[in-house]
Structure 1
Amino acid sequence: MKLNHLNLTVTDVGAAKDFLMNYFGLKLGGERGRSFAALFDDNGMVLTLMKGKEVNYPATFHIGFGQESEEKVNEMYKRLVDDGFSATSPERAHAWTFYVEAPGGFTVEVMA
C-alpha cells in the first residue's frame, strides 16, 4: 500500500502552489480557479491544496522534502532566505534540517 494523496487547507492556493512548484519541483495536475490545486511529486503522490478562510495547524505540523545532500539543504536555505522567506537556520537534529513558513499557512521541513 502507498500513500495516494494528502490535502492541505491553505489561505492562498495560488501562492502555496507557486511556492511548492518553484522550490520543491511539484508539478501541476489541475486546478479549479483560486480555490483548489492538485500537485504531483515524482513518485505520483498527489498533494491537494484547498482554500480555507483560516488555517490552524498544530505547532508541530509540517510537510517534509528530503534533499540528496547537506549541501543541497544549505543551498535551499540560502535560496529561500534570499527570496524573503522566514526560515530557521539549518541544524543537526534527526537530520541536517531547517523549517520554512510557506505561503498559505503551513510549515515545510527541508532535510538530508
Structure 2
Amino acid sequence: MEDNTATEQKPKATIESVELDEPITRGKTVIKEIQVRKPKSGALRNVSLTDLLQMQVSALTTVLPRITEPALTEAEIRELDPADLVQLGGTLVGFLVPKKTREANE
C-alpha cells in the first residue's frame, strides 16, 4: 500500500491581488498592492453575510484585516480611498459567490 500523502497537494488558498489607487504609507513602507485571501468561515465570525454582500463599511472593516496581506489595520481601512475600499470589498464579495454562479456569469 502506497502512501500518497507526500505527493498529494493541498488546495492552495485562493488569493487575488488588488492594486491600490492611493498607496498606504506605513512608517517608511509604502504599500501599493494588497493580497486578499478567500476567507474561511472563521474569518467571517461576528459579521452578517448580508452586510458583506452589500459591502457595508463596518463589515468590511471587520473582515479585511483578517484576510489581507500585508494585514491592514482597521484604522488603515477607515483611511482608504473609497475606490480602494470598493476594490477590496468587491474582491471579498467575489469570493462569497458560489462557483456555479461565477461560472454562469463568465
Given the two structures, how large is their TM-score scaled by the length of structure 2?
0.26
Structure with the higher fraction of residues in helix conformation: 2
| Structure possessing the higher radius of gyration over alpha carbons | 2
Larger relative strand fraction: 1
Q: Calculate the TM-score normalised by the size of structure 1.
A: 0.25
